[in-house]
Chain A
Amino acid sequence: MRTRVDRIRDVLIGAWAVLAIVYLFIPIFVIVLFSFNDNKGRFNFTWQGFTLRHWKDPFAVEGLSDAMVTSLSIAALCTVISITLGTFVALAIVRYRFVGRGATNTLVFLPLATPEVVLGAALLGWFLTMSFARGFTTVLIAHVMFTLGYVVITIRARLEGMDLHIEEAAQDLGANQMTTIRKVTLPLIAPGIVAAGLLAFAISIDDFVVSNFNAGQTVTFPLFVYGAARQGVPPQVNVMATMLLGLALVLMFVNVAIQRRAARRDAALGPQPARV
């Protein structure tokens, strides 16, 4: 019963969606393009010809590669800590009724809804009060703090979408609670954990504001770029940003593959829709 008006409307919505995606990619295009710019002076914002030299030597800018390594290590550690803490919090929230459950829910949610500048400032104030030296550790602490909420909520969603019968079955077959969690629950929510980990990694590696407050002399990738932005960003920043994009793309495809497999397994186990 599709009318012509409907079709026109669909086309318009489709066009709008494509335009919106294009809008999202305009600066990305600039970033990738200028990683190939043969810039003569110290700036990299007017197109001066094509070159591969920055790609051949992406680590030429010394501080930059160090900053990238710092960022990657913080993001990796943050992801591990965050999903470890977060998985258990999510399990407790979904599978148990306990005193303070509401408060836990709220506390998990609040950092997500706090402006970064407040998070950063509050934490700095706290570290200053405690005379705690800022550096790698404080950045890591901060990143775990504000990624934890995302992790808990993502895993919680997966847990809630899960069929309780499987766990019940395991217990009926004599498995104790810990064994059930280890052998049944965790494997089943693995895709949720992977998604949460990706999210935590992405948020950590992108963070500027909170890091800027709490990094002390530690330099992360965004901090380096911010410092360099005042001077003229070296093209290697574009190269690294593009590489990061490539890495993200790979991780996302891995994630999609895992989700698909999980969805198939879920489908096999029962009529439970997987969450994206």
Chain B
Amino acid sequence: MSAAQASTTGRAPAGGVRWLTLRRRRALLPAIFVAPGLAWLVVFYAIPIVSQLWVSLQTGNPDDGFAQTYNWSVYPDSLSEYHTHLVRSLGYAGLATILCFVIAFPLAYFIAFKAGRWKSIFLLLIILPFFTSMIVRTVAWQTLLADEGFVVSTLRSLGLLNVLGESGRVLATPQAVIAGITYNFLPFMALPLYASLERMDRGLVEAATDLYASRWTAFRKITLPLAAPGIFAGTLLTFIPAIGDYINAQLLGTPQQYMIGNVIQSQYLNVRDYPVAAALSFIVMVIVLVIIVIAARALGTRRLSEAVAA
């Protein structure tokens, strides 16, 4: 890809001029191209997200209806009520992201540099499990982690039950929830990592080692920085969706592990306190936007979404 990139930009003057003249002639064309897709995103993404703010400021109840009262206190109120869920979500998502990185980096490295002709097979194997529904996979984990299930009985027969601590179980613990999130988001880390490693110029590493840098130094000074866009993208694509996840907490955890997604979900669908639900999801969106802006600043939106594209 980097080669393609370079060649496109390299040719930019000639090609650019040509397309520029085309643009003048057909200024309408890009507008027509973009309009339907953009309209879809504006109407069904941008407006709904912004309208969350509007909904959050209403008061009322589901039976008699809600009215707009600009009740800003919903924000401090729901934050003080649910800040533990929010902090927990960030914590679990953070831990899961780190675990994903630890698992995925060697995997991506192996596929990019060592797998040879098995490369596409390995890539396929990473994606394949995700064609079964996430729900089905998580239910399968439930079976595996059950108190009398495969994992616990294996630990028991190995005499390792005490690693589970006083509860003596895996299911319905924070560890199970974090493991579930890690599992479900692993490809979102592995694939961008692979993509950025793959487009790396291996010659640089060889040059470094030729110049008597140790393997480790070469890795640290060359491989890691060059993989940075992938690490960035992988982190974003894992961390952000994980913040809002609630399936893992619901199927593998207890109320003590419930995350902000569980709250939003039940406030919307069960309690039907739409203002609180909207306020919480707006807060999550703001957190996400802050993270994206920081990431974009550090990397530039262009490269960010490019890295994501992998």
Assess the A85–B40 pair: CB atoms within 8 A.
yes
CB distance from A211 to the nearest CB of B (A): 11
Assess the B241–A115 pair: CB atoms within 8 A.
yes
Instruction: Label chain B's interface by main secondary structure.
Output: helix
Assess the B129–A27 pair: CB atoms within 8 A.
yes
A193 within 8 A of B: no
Complex Cα distance A241/B141, Å? 15
The 8 A CB mask of B36-77 against A (1 = contact, 0 = none) is 111011101111110110110000000000000000000000
Who on chain A is nearest to B310 by CB?
Answer: A157
Residues on the A chain within 8 Å of B302, using CB: 105
Complex Cα distance A108/B306, Å? 12
Assess the B23–A97 pair: CB atoms within 8 A.
yes
Complex Cα distance A162/B5, Å? 9
Complex Cα distance A91/B260, Å? 38
Interface residue ranges of B253-270 to A (CB < 8 Å): 260-261, 264-265, 268-269
B110 within 8 A of A: yes
CB distance from A45 to the nearest CB of B (A): 5
Assess the A252–B124 pair: CB atoms within 8 A.
yes
Query: B301 touches which one: A16, A86, A106 (CB < 8 A)?
Result: A106
Query: A129 touches which one: B5, B51, B125, B126 (CB < 8 A)?
Result: B51
Complex Cα distance A45/B171, Å? 15
B139 within 8 A of A: yes
Say yes or no: A116-B4 contact (C-beta < 8 A), given A20-B106, A21-B125, A164-B11.
no
Assess the B48–A123 pair: CB atoms within 8 A.
yes
Interface residue ranges of B240-292 to A (CB < 8 Å): 240-241, 243-247, 251, 260-261, 264-265, 268-269, 274, 277-278, 281, 284-285, 288, 292
Complex Cα distance A213/B277, Å? 12
Who on chain B is nearest to A146 by CB?
Answer: B45
A200 within 8 A of B: no
Complex Cα distance A110/B295, Å? 13
Assess the A141–B44 pair: CB atoms within 8 A.
yes
B298 within 8 A of A: no
B211 within 8 A of A: no
Query: A241 touches which one: B27, B133, B244 (CB < 8 A)?
Result: B133
Total number of A residues with any Cβ neighbor in B under 8 Å? 104
Complex Cα distance A203/B186, Å? 15
Assess the A111–B45 pair: CB atoms within 8 A.
yes
B231 within 8 A of A: no
Who on chain A is nearest to B111 by CB?
Answer: A17
Instruction: Label chain A's interface by main secondary structure.
Output: helix
Query: A125 touches which one: B134, B260, B278 (CB < 8 A)?
Result: B278
Complex Cα distance A123/B23, Å? 36
Assess the A121–B264 pair: CB atoms within 8 A.
yes
CB distance from A215 to the nearest CB of B (A): 11
CB distance from B122 to the nearest CB of A (A): 7
Q: Could you list which residues of chain A lie within 8 angstroms of chain B, going by C-beta atoms?
A: 5-6, 9-10, 13-14, 16-17, 20-21, 23-28, 30-31, 34, 45, 85-86, 88-89, 91-93, 95-98, 100, 102, 104-119, 121-126, 128-129, 141-142, 144-146, 148, 152-154, 156-157, 160-164, 168, 171, 177, 202, 205-206, 208-209, 212-213, 221-222, 225-226, 229, 233, 237-238, 241-242, 244-245, 247-249, 252, 256, 272-273, 275-276
User: Could you write out 15 A-B pairs with CB less than 8 Å apart?
Assistant: A26-B144, A45-B142, A85-B36, A85-B40, A86-B37, A95-B19, A106-B301, A114-B288, A126-B44, A141-B44, A157-B309, A161-B1, A222-B133, A229-B251, A245-B128
User: 12 new A-B pairs (CB below 8 Å) besides A17-B114, A104-B38, A222-B135?
Assistant: A14-B110, A16-B107, A20-B107, A25-B125, A45-B149, A85-B36, A117-B281, A125-B51, A125-B277, A225-B135, A237-B136, A272-B7
